[in-house]
Amino acid sequence: MSSAKKTQVYHELIILASSPATDIWLGDDAGFLVQKETGEMRTSLMPGHYTVEFGLGAPTYPIHLTKASRYTQAELEAGPTCPRPKVQLPGD
């Protein structure tokens, strides 16, 4: 049997906050924190559904990452909000 390795695909994601002092919180669709930055976020992620908020407890905006993407806070805030995912703990 051949053991072919499956290569993971990652896409660049850039998110720019309106202010350099604004916290950017990025989570996955299961409610887990993926990354936190201030002012600007530059990261590479696997394709999928993510949520972003600008300041802890602020409205949450969806991101469906399918290719390299760049968003500003104003662009995301002009679109729809989404419910904050609830964290699933083992045994729940």
Residue 32 pLDDT = 87
pTM metric for this prediction: 0.86
Residue 4 pLDDT = 64
Three-class SS string for the chain? CCCCCCCCCCEEEEEECCCCCCEEEEEECCCCEEEEEECEEEEEECCEEEEEEECCCCCEEEEEECCCEEEEHHHHHHCCCCCCCCCCCCCC
Q: What is the pLDDT of residues 25-71, one digit of tens each?
A: 999 988 888 999 999 999 999 999 999 999 988 999 999 999 999 99
Encoded tokens for 51: 């949520």
Q: Is the pLDDT of residue 5 over 90?
A: no
Q: Is the pLDDT of residue 13 over 90?
A: yes
All structural domains of the chain: 11-78 (2.60.40.1120)
